[in-house]
Amino acid sequence: MTETDKQMLASEQLYQDAKTVMPGGVTANIKHFPPHPIYMNYGKGAYLSDADGNQYIDYLLSYGSLMLGHGHPEIKEAIYSQIENSGTWLFGTPHELEIAYAREIKKYFPSIDFLRYTNSGTEATLLALRFAAAYTGKHKIAKFEGHYHGGYNEVLLSVDPEASEAGQKHRPNSVPSSKGISASETNETIILPFNDDHAFEILKKHGSEIGAVILEPIQGGFIPANHDFMTKLRHVTEELNIVLIFDEVKTGFRTNLGGAQALYNIKPDVTVLGKVIGGGFPMGIVGGKQDILMESSPINEKTADAVKPKDVLFHSGTYNGHPMILAAGLRTISILEKELDQVLERTETLKTELERLFFQKGIPMQAIGSGSMFNVILTEKQIRNYRDYQQSDMETRKKIDYKLLDKGIYAKPLNRYSLSTCHKDAEIEKTLERYNEVLTDL
């Protein structure tokens, strides 16, 4: 990143300053990349500007959260109006927006009978697993190799395992992805191979212990599950009384307004949403079947009497259903109802043209993804899961990403691409021009 170093003296200095107050200079490990992260200080539409004044077309979009781009005026107006009309930005009590937003979500996710709000996708997946345990009485969980569901012990396993530790392809090991995870926690989570029918053999073997199967229906937001695989998974989990949880934090409102489950025409028992749904603010949702969600009800529905705390699934949070965020979320949905199709069309255009460009340069590449997200994967081989993806040409992809940073295209090295309503034809054309320059130099 030699050219980038010359242009980023301010970012480098800020990073050195940050290391004096935060471990490694960051407050989220994913935000770091060598030699140092780029410090941004302004965003508008599809663009970011860094501390040195360099401008970028932003394809990271806060890891996909900003479906409307940076600083959308209607989101600002929604927030200002909510504060002005309510006189406050936090009630600490129930309020009408909780109901209005829930109805909008239910409209697009028919699998959701009831829902609860959280403050992040990580909180939501954690709560979803608790619902499954309370409902089934079974406390082991199963997750798929390479799938990410948040930064807590039960699921921070086999997210990105080394090949030497991962075990057999059809029967993966449970490998901690962090320090601080005990052996007992590792053993409580069973790892399944994605897009592989051997997963059903494992589930049937441990079905009496497993209360939940959680997965990203589109792994990482770009590797889709096979339709037949998803159909079988739904059938097997029903047969074994296992709660099927779709983690749609990445795919909700990005594949389409109904999420990945609408593409597969499958109703999970529980759905987890995050990122886009809050318009760029911290928010999550757990929604699903009525009898599962009612495990958290503080009242007995038949007698209307209060239930003892120990006899109900605990879920609380001061900021759950934050009125300011729900106002932003409602406005986000209303805009996407009008503009999402255009985003999907432009995404397909970018994917197609990138594949054509790489082909012309003689570099094997697939732009894999569904909806407004995709990834640039350098291989001709079929990508069906984490292990396939790891065998692609990561080193060349990383070189391309760093050169693109020098030319004003921001997608954190090796990360997926997300588009917004602000990525218009001009941004697509400029991106293709910069790619052409980089691939020619390469």
Tell me the CATH number at 221.
Answer: 3.40.640.10
Residue range of the domain that includes 233 = 73-332
Confirm whether 296 is domain-assigned: yes
Confirm whether 222 is domain-assigned: yes
Confirm whether 282 is domain-assigned: yes
Print pLDDT tens along the chain (442 aa): 444 444 799 999 999 999 999 999 999 999 999 999 999 999 999 999 999 999 999 999 999 999 999 999 999 999 999 999 999 999 999 999 999 999 999 999 999 999 999 999 999 999 999 999 999 999 999 999 999 999 999 999 999 999 999 999 999 999 999 999 999 999 999 999 999 999 999 999 999 999 999 999 999 999 999 999 999 999 999 999 999 999 999 999 999 999 999 999 999 999 999 999 999 999 999 999 999 999 999 998 777 788 888 889 999 999 999 999 999 999 999 999 999 999 999 999 999 999 999 999 999 999 999 999 999 999 999 999 999 999 999 999 999 999 999 999 999 999 999 999 999 999 999 999 999 999 999 8
Confirm whether 413 is domain-assigned: no
Confirm whether 183 is domain-assigned: yes
Confirm whether 338 is domain-assigned: no
Under 8 Å between Cβ of 49 and 41: yes
Under 8 Å between Cβ of 266 and 235: no
Confirm whether 135 is domain-assigned: yes
Taken in order 414, 418, 422, 425, is the CA torsion positive or negative? positive
Measured CA distances, 42 to 30, 128, 313 (Å) = 20, 36, 42
Count of structural domains within the chain? 1
Instruction: Name residue 402's amino acid.
Output: Y
Instruction: Name residue 164's amino acid.
Output: S
Confirm whether 263 is domain-assigned: yes
Q: Is 179 left (phi over 0), alpha (psi -120 to 50) or beta?
A: beta
